[in-house]
Amino acid sequence: MIIIINGSLGVGKSASSWALAEKFEKSVMLDADYIGAIFPRDYKNSDWTEYLYKTIANLVEFHKKNNIENFVINYVFETPKSLSALVNKLSAIDENIKIFYLSCNEEEQRQRIIKRNNSRLAWELERFLELNEILRASALSGSIGFDINTSKKTVAQVVEEIWQNRL
């Protein structure tokens, strides 16, 4: 099984991914931001995105060959087309793919980002609003995942909701 977690900055993708991966007997958590930490980074460059998605698919395929069957992948997939590009690569490896889109109240999301105390705080505070608009528009044009609102929920509650809806 492959679970993909989509969503803007500060909605709980990484924390939920770590906790979700632990619910499986054996799994791998792949954070695409870390896998794709190549500099300089150009999110708008389709060649870079293709490279990232091939890398993720290669990692999943490698781990599957080594008897790991469950994967949790998180990233910001801005459009249904972008998400389906990765899903198409992964479905050749494992057809059991579930996609979740995490959303959050913007003020709570803002506070979560501030608490991270990241050196790129100003950029993140601007970027999350931009991504929220992009993702809301994308959700109207196609699937970006089963929506789970993380507002006022603990990581454990979010993970339990994903777990219950994974089948």
Residue 48 is predicted with a pLDDT of 85
**At residue 41, does pLDDT exceed 70?**
no
C-alpha distances out from residue 80 to 4, 5, 61, 93, 113, Å: 13, 13, 23, 20, 25
CATH number for the 2-164 domain, one of 3.20.20.80, 3.40.50.300, 3.30.465.10, 3.40.50.150?
Answer: 3.40.50.300
Residue 45 is predicted with a pLDDT of 72
* Mean pLDDT value of segment 117-121: 88
Pairing of strands 70-75, 27-31: parallel
Residue 17 is predicted with a pLDDT of 98
Residue 16 is predicted with a pLDDT of 98
Residue 125 is predicted with a pLDDT of 96
pTM of the model: 0.95
**At residue 44, does pLDDT exceed 90?**
no
* Mean pLDDT value of segment 134-159: 95
Per cent of the chain over pLDDT 90 is 86
Tell me the DSSP string of 6-56.
EE-TTSSHHHHHHHHHHHSSSEEEEEHHHHT--SS--TT-HHHHHHHHHHH
Tokens for 99, please give them. Answer: 């996609």
Short-list 67, 102, 99, CA closest to 86: 99
pLDDT digits (tens, 9 = 90+) for 2-32: 999 999 999 999 999 999 999 999 999 999 9
**At residue 42, does pLDDT exceed 80?**
no
pLDDT confidence tier of residue 104, bands split at 50, 70 and 90: very high
Higher local confidence (pLDDT), 4 or 143: 4
Query: Rounded to the nearest 5°, which phi and psi values hold at 103?
Result: -130, 170
Q: In sequence order, what are the residues at sequence separation of 6 or more whose Cβ sits closer than 8 angstroms to the Cβ of residue 90?
A: 2, 56, 57, 60, 97
Between CA 62 and CA 30 the distance in angstroms is 13
pLDDT digits (tens, 9 = 90+) for 45-95: 778 889 999 999 999 999 999 999 999 999 999 999 999 999 999 999 999
Tokens for 55, please give them. Answer: 């890398």
Residue 10 is predicted with a pLDDT of 96
SS3 call for 79? coil
